[in-house]
Amino acid sequence: MSVNYRSVLYANYHSTQSGRAAHTDAKSLHEREKSRFRKEIKPLLRSISTEAEVFDLGCGSGSLLAVLKEEGFHRLIGMDLSPEQVAQAHAWGLQEVQEGDALVHLKKASSQWDLVLAADIIEHFNKDELVDLLQVIKSSLKKNGRFILRTPNMDSSLASVFAHGDFTHENRLNASSLEQVLLAVGFRHVEIVPSDMSAQSALKECLRKPLYGLHVLIRKATLFATGRSTKGVLFSPNMIAIAHV
């Protein structure tokens, strides 16, 4: 009998992956994710009205939705396949989170959303599924709507830590291939930026920042030495894309 691995692994995704990999309990991970989203997603929302209709695809325990609620957004829906994570979201007062297949839901929502979010989601689809997903997301957005996503960056050093650290990951992208597929499905403008890498403590950040600067210099020198351009190359572990309809 054939077994769908997704039905097995997503049923208790926090226990077996997100919480385990982060070495922390569910609530601490939720707060850590909120802190990161405040730094890297919140600045991208400044030109978006708090009256915008927002859909968070694969929202997990709702950490990104919680940040949007803090900013005054109130027309929110999040959806996730994991009953465990949906139950966590509800326990923390995030009734906007629903259990279900977000792709199926979006297929019924032509030109409905002002903003669709997908943090750490698109890497869970194979190439055919990803193209289908992106086409559905584009058709679900209103005119001038936006799609904001975060995904692992294969141009980062030790990219396998993120790309192969989750059994459910299906595809591997860098900034160039991510921009390519978003443009190919019809988004009119795509911007790709590095993810936040700041350390939690000031002391660690003082050490991290110059080390990262040296790291990038060495990586750029390597590209130069091999006759390739550094234009458009990102070195952060994750990358964020902002795609416009």
Q: Enter the pTM of the model.
A: 0.90
SS (H, E, C) 82-146: CHHHHHHHHHCCCCCEEECCHHHHHHCCCCCEEEEEEECCHHHCCHHHHHHHHHHHHHHEEEEEE
State pLDDT tens for residues 107-148. Answer: 987 889 999 999 999 999 999 999 999 999 999 999 999 999
User: CA 234, CA 211: separation in Å to the nearest integer?
Assistant: 16
What pLDDT sits at residue 10? 77
pLDDT (mean) for 68-77: 97
Q: What is the topology classification, in CATH, of domain 5-199+232-244? A: Rossmann fold (3.40.50)
pLDDT in tens, 17-43: 765 555 567 888 889 999 999 999 999
The structural domains of the chain, with segments of one domain joined by +, span 5-199+232-244
The sign one gets for the Cα dihedral 62, 183, 44, 216 is positive
